[in-house]
Amino acid sequence: MGDEDYRSSSEEPNGEMTDWVFYRDRPEWRDVTPVPQDDGANPVVRIAYSERFTDVYDYFRGVMRTGEKSARVLQLTEDALEQNPANYTVWYYRREVLKALDSDLKKEMKYCRDMIEDHPKNYQVWQHRRALIEWTQDPTAELRFTEMILSGDQKNYHAWQHRQWVLATFNLWDKELAYIDDLIEVDIRNNSAWNQRFFVISHSEGWTPEVVDREVNFALDKIKKVVKNESSWNYLKGVLNACDNEEKKGELKLKIRSWCEEKYSQGEESSYMLSFIIDVLQQDLEGIKSTEEKTKVLDRIESLCVRLATHCDTIRANYWNFIKDSAKLRHGGGG
């Protein structure tokens, strides 16, 4: 009769299992001396763990002391992690046991998957998965796995981090853009997906003029669908910055600019769009010599900033006033 048989499927909210047999009552564990936690009488950290928690951890400390690394200890760590999946000591020891037993890592991957599904924002479960993949050097399940987790929470930071690590370590770039396309289709404001897009291209194709052209048009296309979208504008600007071909950069800026001006004339006042216009106007100022021309452009910058501060984006009035003032300072020569 293995330790699994002591587990019941009925669980109380505090973790007490109605059919649970304490380790201290299991005859086959009599050879292990449980080690109680030593908090002293310190009132600063008086912790009332449940009875089951205490029992499991007393025995865990017991086997850590003797250094036992057996199948029953593997199960014990599982019980300990069920009680507290954030105990990184237990995770570390579990990995030591897996190594000592030369365990079937496929089974372990399934366990890890279950733990991640139950605790998707816990750091240790994701570290564990990474450790397993580092051992097996087998990333084949990882993209589908992170996709599954992300389908439950599109922005799970751990899942994205793990996915990025897998892509970079095993060079699995080729289908990623298609995946990102799908994510952006579903949610055009998915900032994680936009970030991933930049990451993938930076590591695979690189920012050649052709790629920059393609990606700027991609971003512009999404902007046309939803103008008030921080992610697409940040991406657009990021791509332009990554472009080191001045001719291509200039050509694209012109295209975006004329689209912006047209939308502006139709009444669109998205703060991101206006910010883009202000940026290009500031860049224009660098090349203008005539004071008259300069003043015209500065006046325009000023009126856009005032509009933003007083109507379109009042919560950031101080920022827009700063932009207005610093443009004057840099190019105004006395206003």
Partner 1 sequence: MALGRKDAKIPEDSPTELLLEKHVEFIKKYGEDPDDYEYAMSDFLRMNGLYWGCSAMHLMGHIDKMDKSSVIQFLKDCQVENGGFRPVQGHDPHLLNTLSAVQIAVIFDCLDEIDEEGVVKYVKSLQTEEGSFMGDQWGEVDNRFTFCAVACLSLLGRLSELEVDKAADFVKSCLNFDGGFGSRPGAESHAGLIYTCVGTLAVTGHLHYVDADRLGWWLAERQLDSGGLNGRPEKLPDVCYSWWVLASLKILNRIHWIDKEKLKTFMLACQDNETGGFADRPGNM
Q: Which residues are catalytic?
A: 121
Instruction: Give the single-character DSSP code of 192.
Output: H
Least distance to partner 1 from the beta carbon of 268, Å? Answer: 11
Binding window for partner 1 (CB under 8 A); candidates: 17-25, 140-148, 236-244, 254-262:
236-244
In order, the DSSP letters of 36-48 are ----TT-GGG---
Kindly give the interhelix angle for 271-287 and 291-307, rounded to the nearest 10 degrees.
170
Min. distance of Cβ 57 from partner 1 in angstroms? 6
Residue with tokens 């047999």: 21
221 binds partner 1 (CB under 8 A): no
Measured from the CB atom, the residue of 136 and 191 that comes closer to partner 1 is 191
Residue among 31, 28, 89 at smallest CA distance from 57: 89
Residues 245-284 that bind partner 1 (CB under 8 A): none
For position 46 contacting partner 1 by CB under 8 A, the verdict is yes
Determine the Cα–Cα distance for residues 150 and 176; give it in Å rounded to an integer. 14
Let me know: does 148 contact 183? Beta carbons within 8 Å. Answer: no
Please identify which residue in 239, 243, 256, 308 interacts with partner 1, judged by CB under 8 A.
Answer: 239
62 lies in the binding site for partner 1 (CB under 8 A): no
Angle between helices 71-83 and 88-101 (to 10 degrees): 160
* 286 binding partner 1? (CB under 8 A): no
- Only segment of 26-34, 47-55, 103-111, 209-217 that touches partner 1 (CB under 8 A): 47-55
With CB under 8 A as the contact rule, which of the stretches 48-56, 99-107, 140-148, 258-266 interacts with partner 1? Answer: 48-56
Instruction: Rule CB under 8 A: say whether 169 interacts with partner 1.
Output: no
| Cβ neighbours of residue 98 closer than 8 Å, sequence gap 6 or more | 74, 105, 108
CA terminus-to-terminus distance, the chain? 87
Q: Report if residue 143 touches partner 1, rule: CB under 8 A.
A: no
Cα gap 226→102, rounded to integer Å: 53
Residue spans of beta strands (DSSP E) within 127-173: none
Residue 135 within binding range of partner 1, rule CB under 8 A: no
Cα–Cα distance between 43 and 49 in angstroms, integer?
14
Residue 18 sits in the site that holds partner 1 (CB under 8 A) = no
Question: What does the alpha-carbon distance between residue 59 and residue 52 come to, in Å, rounded to a whole number?
Answer: 11
- Span interacting with partner 1, options 170-178, 212-220, 235-243, 254-262, rule CB under 8 A: 235-243
Interacting residue ranges for partner 1, rule: CB under 8 A: 13-15, 37-40, 42-50, 53, 57, 61, 84, 86-89, 92, 123, 127, 155, 157, 160-161, 164, 168, 189-192, 195-196, 198-199, 202-203, 226-228, 230-231, 234-235, 237-239, 241-242, 315-319, 322, 326
